[in-house]
A and B are shown apart, each in its own frame.
Chain A
Amino acid sequence: MDREVPPVPELKVAVPSSMQSGEGGGAIPAMFAATQYLDEEERILKPAEPALFRLSNVNFWYGHKRALADVGLEIPVNKVTALIGPSGCGKSTLIRCLNRMNDLIPGVRVEGLVEYREQDIYAPKIDPVEVRRRIGMVFQKPNPFPKSIYDNVAFGARVNGYKGNMRELVQQSLRQAALLDEVQGDLRKSGLALSGGQQQRLCIARALAVQPDVILMDEPCSALDPIATLKIEDLIRELVKEFTIVIVTHNMQQAARVSDYTAFMLADETGAGSLIEYGHTQEIFTNPKDKRTEDYITGRFG
């Protein structure tokens, strides 16, 4: 920056050399605070709100490769919890453990306890299809079916044998997903004819139509432009009044904007991801406790 700096007056009291002049002084540390690695109880918060999910000692393997190492946290009800961390830290694996979406991949193994409403969702008597109905999911790329808007939204409800007024359900789901006003005129139009942001909201409407309790979002805005992204973010803040939301995002500003709690994950040298810090989003982004979190969110990681 090209500015004229006024002459520096001579100081009478002994001051550090760098204070006496803008040039040649000692370097000012760019970073400080959060200089230590902390014990688990100090860096992993237990939210005050009732926990909808309670994870303890969750380990996950893709074949022989461990992807999650001893993850334990509580996800509070009616809050947005963001999972952040560099690629390969296990955040997508973790979010997929919450509705047994990982079961669909051959050769995977889960250890530890994933409790949803105090039920072990990996217990033998549990029906994974019912788990996925209660705990819906929205993916990175909008993936509407090659069907009409109406049929996209009605699809899950039909599969589940929904007996109520389908038309109302579709309208209500589209309204909840903040899409109804834009498509009301023509619900027969193909879902694929919508814009990317609209398609993603259609996918959210589709997830809502099976009347879930939780919505998991795995990088829901990474394929969207900034305007469509902000619409989804506004929608997330609306939906959290009724649902519990867990979101994986690479965009830290997005995590800061939409979430109430943030979990920061990092993989060790073997590639197994673990939970480094978990706390109120505001605290994580203004005053993280662990040095690794500080390094990551200030962009000095790696």
Chain B
Amino acid sequence: MTRVGFDRQLSEIQEDMLVLAGMVESAIERGMQSLRERNLELAKQVIADDVKLNDKRRDIEEHCLELIAMQQPLASDLRTIVSVLHITVDLERMGDHAEGIAKVTLMMADEAPLEPYVDIPKMAQLASQMLVSSLEAFKDRDSARARAICDMDDEVDTLYDSVYRKLIEIMIEHPETIERGIHLTWVAHNLERIADRVTNICERVVYLVEGHILELNVSKY
């Protein structure tokens, strides 16, 4: 016996979730680009796109609730739907953090660039990699990989520490940079939060595959 319609819908919610993840990754990338290039139009676009991202998240939630109500999913089906529900919430919040970066771009619009951005681009790259890897782990049902990704969060935390210290040093030496420095610490904070939310995705992958709800990562922040 198969459940063709149900299986198709189960695939749909997972594919939609991956589409949402792609939107989030793009928001992070474009948010950072807008900051680097002082591209206000791009920043406004990222902020505007967050609405689409939120809508997509809500659509997925509605679809999940419909499946729970109509299909009474159990075992791995249930774990899949519950995981998608949790992960999409995390993705939406990551989108908000990416939007936060774009807002910083707008706030810094009239200020001269504060170069270099220390390790902030590296943080962004690492956070994006973690995001993509976590969804690959989801797709491949690879809980070992999900656990390994959580270790990368420590690297992001370390980078955040160093960015924070470095920015404080710059601000002390050049008090005229304080406003810009503070804005950049916000960017770093947003990236740190994004990476931390990836570890939530990884926890859901472990739940999906192994059936246990674990706290894989106790973040420093």
| Interface of A toward B, CB cutoff 8 Å | 1, 3, 5-6, 8-16, 18-22, 25, 27-34, 252-253, 256, 283, 285-288, 293-294, 297-302
Within 8 A of A (CB), among B1-35: 1-3, 6-7, 9-12, 14-16, 18-19, 21-23, 25-27, 29
Which B residues touch A20, using CB under 8 A?
A: 22
Is the C-beta of B55 less than 8 angstroms from some C-beta in chain A? yes
Q: Are the CB atoms of B23 and A8 closer together than 8 Å?
A: yes
B82: nearest chain-A partner, CB-CB: A286
A27 to B12, CA, bound (A): 10
A21 to B79 alpha-carbon distance, docked (Å): 23
Q: A6-B19, A286-B211, A294-B76 are in contact. List 6 more A-B contacts (CB 8 A).
A: A1-B9, A19-B135, A19-B139, A22-B16, A28-B15, A30-B77
Contact (A28, B139) CB under 8 Å given A13-B132, A34-B75 = yes
Residue of A nearest to B60 (CB): A3
B15 pairs with A300, CB closer than 8 A:
no
Residues of A within 8 A of B112 (CB): none
> Does B77 lie within 8 Å of A13, measured CB to CB?
no
Determine how close the nearest CB of chain B comes to the CB of A296; give it in whole angstroms: 9
Residue B182, interface by CB 8 Å: no
Q: Is the CB of A11 within 8 A of B76?
A: no
B171 touches A (CB below 8 Å): no
Which residues of B are found within 8 Å of A15, using beta-carbon distances? 22, 132, 135-136
A30 touching B22, Cβ below 8 Å: no
Cβ contacts under 8 Å, A288 to chain B: 75
Inter-chain CA distance A11–B131, complex, in Å, is 12
**Contact of B23 (CB < 8 Å), options: A6, A14, A33:** A6
CA distance A27 to B53 in the complex (A): 23
- Looking across the interface, which residue of chain A has its beta carbon closest to that of B23? A9
Closest A residue to B1 by CB, please name it: A302
